[in-house]
Amino acid sequence: MAAPLEALLLQVRCLSLSSTRRLLVRCNSALVKSSPVNPRVLPGQSALLSSHVQTFCTTTTRWAEEAKEESTETTEKKQEDAEESQQEDTSLDEDIERRQKWMEMYNSCLPGYGQVFDGIPYNQLPVIHVFANWNNTHATCTDSTGKILAQTTCGKEGFKNAKKATSVAAEVTGQSIATKALDLGITNVRLVLRGIGPGRQPIVKGVQMGGVNIVSITDGTRFSATGPRPRKARRI
């Protein structure tokens, strides 16, 4: 019995902690069966075995207590992590509610907020974006989220070169985008104008002539708050 025991002790040195524990528990259970009162065990071996049994029992008991403490610490840590995650979720929900509240306050200041047109709220109406520059006029129809539904320009309507900058071309472009919107089932739109080109006002007239109801007109022309860069100072 001593030779296998020595072999087990040699294996313990090259095993991991968990494997060592399992090996010692198995060896302990095997040695308990071979108690000193067993007549098959010699007196010299009985003392050896009893000392090893005592050592193994002490070791396994200590490791069992350590494992219990580790499991307790792990449980406490999991509870703390769960509480922290719950607090983070609560703070995140509060942040979302605060942002929604501010968005409602901001939208309530917009024109037409709370009104419904043919069963569609104002903030969900499609939008016709108009960009009027000095050489051309662009018109794009989008839904309330910004997805492009239809678009056209004076150049696409057949006008070339300098004729694209005329008011007639802008009016025809407005009628064209209105027709495309009606084909999509859109009857009420919001109009957003950008730019100061010659087709700025005629395209609004063209959209109205096309049969689309303009609910609101917004000026989205961009401008610089500080103005253009000044000229280089003259050196004397």
What is the DSSP annotation of 189-222? EEEEEE---TTHHHHHHHHHHTT-EEEEEEE---
For β-strands 188-194 and 213-219, DSSP reports them as parallel
Residue 170 pLDDT more than 50? Answer: yes
Tens-digit pLDDT profile for residues 218-234: 999 988 888 888 999 99
Whole-model pTM: value is 0.53
Tens-digit pLDDT profile for residues 9-58: 445 444 555 565 566 566 655 555 554 444 444 444 444 444 544 555 56
Q: In the prediction, which pLDDT does 105 show?
A: 77
- For residues 38 and 162, the model is more confident at 162
Q: How far apart are CA 228 and CA 58, in angstroms?
A: 86
Residue 128 pLDDT more than 90? Answer: yes
Q: What values do phi and psi take at 133, rounded to 5?
A: -105, -175
Q: In the prediction, which pLDDT does 4 show?
A: 52
Instruction: Tell me the two tokens of residue 176.
Output: 């064209």
Tens-digit pLDDT profile for residues 186-211: 999 999 999 999 999 999 999 999 99
